[in-house]
Each structure stands twice: as C-alpha cells, then as structure tokens.
Chain A
Amino acid sequence: MVQARLESLPVIALLAAVGLFLCSLANALARATVAPTELIYWVGLLIIALPIFFRLSSTKPGYRERLGLVLLLGLALYGVKLVHDSIFFTFSDEFVHAFNAHNIAQYHHLYHFNPAIPTTPYYPGLEGATSSLMMLTGMSSYGAGIFVVGAARLTFMAALFFLFARLSGSARGAGLGVAIYAGTSNFLFWGVQFSYESLSLPLLVVVLMAFAEREEAPKASRGAWAVPIVLGILAITITHHLSSYALAAIFVALAVLYRVMKVERPNPWPFALLSVGAALGWLLIAARSTTGYLFPVLEEAIKAIVKTASGESAPRTLFHQASTTAEVVASTPLAARAVALLAVAALAALIFLGLRVLRRRDERREPFVILLGIGALAFFAALTLRFAPAAWETGNRAGGYFFLGVAFVGIYGAAEFLRRGPNLLRRRVLLTGALGVVLVGGAISGWPWDIQLARPLQATADGSEIDSESLALAEWARERLDGSRFAAPEATARTLLAPGGQVAFGGQGPDIEDIVDEPQLESWQLPLLEKHHLPYVVADRRLNSEDTLRGMYFTVKDQYGSELREPGVVHKFARIPVGRVWQGGHLSVFNLEDRP
C-alpha cells in the first residue's frame, strides 16, 4: 500500500518538482559564485529521473500513466535546461538563432543575413514558428522560443513513446525505451537549446511515428496518416539540413528493405521520393550555402578518421577541452568519467541482450525494426569517432539519430532483464540504477563538465542588477547603435547578435579571430575589415573571449575568466590611431571610421 502510494503519478511529479528545484538551487549557487555545488545538481537530476524510471519498470501502470510518466520526464528535464539559463539564451547556437528570429520580427521576412552561421537563415523553420508567438504576444525570442522548444520536446517524448509502443507492441517497453533515450548525450542540453535541430528532431520522430501507425492502420486510414507524414517532411526540409537528410535516408532505406524483403504492405517509396526531392530541391534552390558549411565539416571528419586510424595523428583524449584559444578549463573528474564510461557499458549490455532477444522474435522481419537495429550498432560505431579530433562532433551529432535505434533495441534488453521470476523488485532497482547511470553519463559526455552549472551573466549588487562585460556591451549597442557592423571575438560577437541586435562577425570566416586575437596589426587586417565593412572592432583581453560557451560571463576571482591576452590586442588599434567609443572591463570598442 505504501509502495503503491509512493509510486503514484502525483508523488512522482512532486519528486520531479523537488529535483528540479534542487537543480535550480545548484545553478543559483553557481551563479552566486558559491562553489562547489555540483553534488546538489546531480542529486536533483536523479531525484527527477529515478522515481520515473522505477515506475516505468513496473508492470502495473496503464498505457496512459506511462505516457504521463514520459511526458513528466521530458518536461522536468526540459526544466533543468531552463533553470540553467538566466533570462537570456546562453548556449552558443542560441544567439545565432535568436538573431534570426529577431530579424524576422523586425523586417517581417525570412532569409536575412546571419554573420555567425550564414546557412541558418535558409533553414528558418524554428525562427519562423517562433516569430508567430513573438508577434502575437509581443514576447522576446527567448520567451517565445521557450514555448516552441518546450512544445517540441513534449511532442518528441509522446511521439517516441507511441512509435516504440507500436513497434514493440508493449507500452511498458515503450516507456523504458523513452527512458533509455533520455540518456543520449544531446538530450539534456543540446537537444532543447533554441536551435533548429530542437524542432526538427521532434518533427522527425512524429513523422516516423505516423509512418509506423500507418503501417498498422486499416487500408482506409492510411491516407489520413499520410497527412502528418507529408507535412512533416516539408516542415523538416525547411527547418534543418541534417534532419532532412536523415529522414530522406531513413525512407530510402525503408523503401529498399520493403523491396528486398518483399513486404506485402505498400512500399514507402513515395515518401522516400518526396523527402529526397524536398531536401535536394531546398539545398539547390534556397540553401546552396549549406554545401560550403556542412560538407567541409564532413570532409574534415573523414580525414581525421583516416589519420587517426592510420596512426598519422594522435587520438583525441576523451573528456578533454579541444580549444587552443580558450583558457584552461577544469577537466572532468575521474569519478564523472567513470560514470560516463559505465553508461556506455550499460548501454552495450542492454543492446547485446536486446539484439539476442530480437533475433528470436517476429519483429525481426519488420523493415523498420531492422533499420533501428542497424541504428543501434551504428551508434557504437559512431562512438569511435570521438577519438578522432575533427570527427568527434560529427559522431556526437549523428549519435542523436542512431540513439533512436539504441533506445528501441534497449527495450528488448530491459524486458529480458525484467523477465518474470524471483527477485523482480531487485531487478527493477538494478535497471533503474542502470538507467540513472545512462542519464547522468549522457549528460556528462554531452556537455563540458565545468559548465554543467550556470555562470553569472547578470548579478545583483546593492539591490540593483549589474551585467557582465559582454552583456553590458550588447545592451549598450542595442540601445545606442542601430544594427551596426562589428568584428569581435566570437563569444562577444554572439552576444552582440542577441540580445545586442548588431551584425557581429567573429571566428574564421572571414578571419576575424586572428585580427582580434593577435597583438600586432598585420598588413592584411585593416583591408579585410574594410572589405567586409566592419567599422566597429571589439578588442577583448580576456583569454576566453573566443569561447562561445564561457566567454560572455563575469570573470570570477580564483575560479574562471581571469586569464588575459597581451595588452597589444587593444593597443594595436589605439595606435593606428582610431576612436575608442567604449571601454569597460577588459573590452574596448574602436571605430575605424573615427580617426584624425
């Protein structure tokens, strides 16, 4: 009776809320520069997830309760991301997409130039959708984005549950499958940032769910299910390049499997044709710059794999910050690395069990199931990309898609582990623990250890709000300069985009990074700035100013942000001479058109 009470949905929801509060408290303490607070955060995360995992492993809950549990899991873990932010987007890609959304709201049309990632305006699905809420409510992109991404996350959780329930024929398995998926490294933060994939991946899962339902539906209902599939394919095409290619690949693979396996149901080639045609058409007509953005990354990844495999270059050290321009950051502690590796081992064990079970079952004749099985194996192959320096990101991003297969095959592994018999309670506890390890391990490997908790972007002093150097500059620029053009270290450039609303270039295309980082003024630097008409140059002495994950926060004594570049990065512009229009903290802004 007591156990039943403790396992009821309201009590689990209460525990999830307490866990979320602990995560928020840990982040608040971190923002208040009180260290260390990591333990509170991890405990909070586990208080959210473990009761849900434990209940999902039970045979008692009905279909709707399980659906409620996975929605609760999605909502609470989305809350963990929200309490990590303060009142602005703080993840590096979020500034880019917030700038696009701001431009749509300001100019009333899509496809406005984005200096940080020029491809993003040509995949305006997320920003277009967000702009509707921005305009209808008057909210900022931050407020509207929270609702759109939140709706997408809840849709994702429910659609994944329906998909797994349909394919496995088990609601219990579906719940556990979604719980396993929460352990993918991109789930906690990356997958719910204000970025195009946070919308496109949920839509992709909705399309897959609709396809799976269509396959089982009576003939008369198949046309109805085709509506969300077709709308989904079109929406994904204009939302995110990789997702549209992934969806096209899935449908093509399914069409081939249907043909090879002589499946009696209608071959899904029309969907394959539509998704390939739409993705290619959009690439060629609207988003040609994608080739210049995406393919060099893939090319580098392939080269890195070859070099690492042949021993030509050293493998990448796991849990290591790769940046050469950023300040030295704390490495992931040994215990945390152990948890992350244990998570991979737990997943491997579940997959091993799951594949063994699947081999004996009827589902193995289902093309969709075969595809998910291949996805599960591909996930482990993609893990090896983490050892290749230029390929780890490709592996990490692909992992989000392959993990659909891991979660699905994991259902069978978990079911095998929980087979009826003695000591079921003990096995449920063990499985719950393993899922907890997978969740925490995924979170550890998916986001740098030193920024799992928030840093102060704003603080209070004497009852008033004070801003970090980057934020203060961005706010000033928004108020005083009307969409001016800046060259800046990348972290500052991102805050100048949003909330600053300026056209701020950073990074290496064009090579702004060297202009603002080198202490000497080279002969090519001013002509390059003139060529791109960038009159405002931000000279920032902070060593982490190129680091788009860490460079926009306050410097905190004895903790982070205090390492500096040579004074020459500022003096070289003052010596030209040109006007200095802003000096605050370690940041100076020069106007190259302001000179004797």
Chain B
Amino acid sequence: MRGHRDLKLVCLAAVLCALVAALVPWEIVRLVAAVPLTLFLPGYAIVAAAFGSRELAPPKRIVLSVGTSLMTLVLGAFVLNIFPFGLRTASWAVLLPLVVVAAARGAALRRDPADRRARRRTAIPRPAPASLAIVAVAVLIAGAALALAQKPLPAKNAVGYSALWMLPTDSREEAVAVGVISNEHDYTSYRLEVNVGNSQSETYRVHLYPGEEEVYEVDVPPRPSGRTHVVATLYRKGRPEHVYRRVNSWLPRQTTFP
C-alpha cells in the first residue's frame, strides 16, 4: 500500500479503532472508536477497491462509504452467525479490520501506479470565523434539545402509584423476598404485613421516597407435606384498614398449570 496514504490511514484507523473498542472500558471512548469502525471505514475500503483509480466525487465517495458500511454490517452479521463463536465483541473487532485491510489491499492493487502521484487531497473550504461561531451555537442548541428530551421531568398530573411484589429468594423456596416500590409523587408511609401459613406473621413499617424500593426477606419454614400460603398485604398510612396491595404465593410452587 506504499504511496496510498488514504488506504494506509484507513487500515491503521480500523486496527486502532478495533483495539480501542474491544479493550477500553469507557463507553464514550469505545463509541468514538466504534462509530468510524462500523459506519465508515469498511465502506470506504470497499468503495476504494471497487473504483480503483476511477474518479468519484468526494461527496459521493463518502455517502457510498457509509451506505456500503451499513451493507457490510448486515452481511457481516450473517457471516459471523455461521461460525460457532457467532457475533461477539471479539469477532466484530476482528472481522471489520479484516474487511478493511483486505479491501484496502485490493484497492492498492487496482490503483494505477501513476495515481499515487496524481491523487491529491481534496481541498476543504475554510469557513469564516463568524460562520463557525454560528454553527457552534447551533450545535449547542441542538445538544440542549437532545439533553432536554433525555431528562425525565416532574409530571404532577401523572397518576402515581405503589407496587408490591413477592418472589421466592432462590430455587429452594424456603424464603420469600417481598418488595415495595414507590412510584408516588411524595414521601409515603405504609404498613406491610406478611403472613406465613396460619401461624407466623410479620409487620413492617415502610417509609419510601418517590422512586425508592424496600425489600424484605421472610423465612418460610418447610412443611412435611402440602404447601405454605404466604400473603403479603400493604396498607397506606392514611387508610390503615383498607387493603391497598396484596400478593400471595403457595410454596413450594408447582410446575403444572391449573
């Protein structure tokens, strides 16, 4: 690939991006590396191989590069699926640079030797500082628009609620986890009663801020025969006699339908 600066750069970038994406732990850094690796470099190399020395206007080359990269990802997934290891970080991190290097090698072979001298960098127009400033402001505003969309907001008219749940803690089913989740708008107090069979009863005072969850573990002593009925009942502080939520379970659970 001597003399073909763009192809050399593309190969180096593909290998570097693959290494960074596969090995670096920080998501944002991996993203910066993975976006060009997946959405540009394979297509660029394939288009370069297809066109060899033939002229292709830079905007079309770029668009074809992105389009062909998308095609490569689709077909790449299909190819990786054939192998037992399938689609993994490592398999993508190997396949994509491999495609890039192979296609770049093909491109280098197809380009005329004279093309090495003739190929010049495309002149990129230099924008005026005022234009750059305006574009920077536009990017900031667009960023603010996206950030606003990502942010959950107070929604007073949305009807809040609380949830109660109960599941065995493990496969032995000798204890249950009982959880209370508050999706209310305000700090809320509850009384939680858990009855295990006819004998054992536990009462908990639960105080939750919005978005909080409290989980309690309750032992369910194994019985020599039959099943133990566990019932958890939640009352709100303001209405202590009114059953607000109730969940129940018969342990050990069956594996058949009624």
Contact = CB atoms under 8 A, between A and B. Distances in A.
A206 B67 contact: yes
A3 interface: no
B35 A231 contact: no
Contacts of B131: 8-10
Given A151-B66, A158-B63, A464-B212, A108 B88 contact: yes
A550 interface: no
A584 B181 contact: yes
Interface stretch (A232-240, A323-331, A345-353): A232-240
Contacts, number: 356
Interface stretch (B2-10, B112-120, B164-172, B198-206): B164-172
A64 B59 contact: yes
Contact of A460 (B60, B138, B141, B153): B153
Nearest to B255: A593
A559 B34 contact: no
A559 B146 CA distance: 26
Interface string B35-62: 1011100000011011110100001100
Interface stretch (A79-87, A249-257, A308-316): A79-87
Contact of A202 (B47, B49, B67, B249): B67
A555 interface: yes
Given A17-B138, A461-B211, A464-B212, A137 B81 contact: no
A585 B27 contact: no
B146 A82 contact: yes
Contact of B187 (A16, A109, A462, A578): A462
B73 interface: yes
Contact of A584 (B89, B162, B253): B162
A543 B10 CA distance: 55
Interface residues of A, number: 123
Contact of B245 (A464, A480, A579, A583): A583
B145 A32 contact: no
A478 to B, nearest CB: 13
B164 A131 contact: no
Nearest to A67: B59
A472 B180 CA distance: 12
A128 B76 contact: yes
Interface string B129-148: 01110110111111011101
A248 B138 CA distance: 42
A373 interface: no
B74 A129 contact: yes
Interface in A65-114: 67, 76, 79, 82-87, 104-105, 107-111
A108 B30 contact: no
Contacts of A45: none
A327 B151 CA distance: 28
A467 B159 contact: no
Contacts of B253: 579, 591, 593-594
B145 to A, nearest CB: 4
Interface of B: 18, 21-22, 27, 30-31, 33-35, 37-39, 46-47, 49-52, 54, 59-60, 63-64, 66-78, 81, 85-89, 92-93, 96, 127, 130-132, 134-135, 137-142, 144-146, 148-167, 179, 181-187, 209-212, 227, 229, 245-250, 253-258
Given A10-B134, A154-B66, A468-B183, 6 more contacts: A16-B142, A107-B86, A136-B18, A462-B210, A591-B253, A592-B258
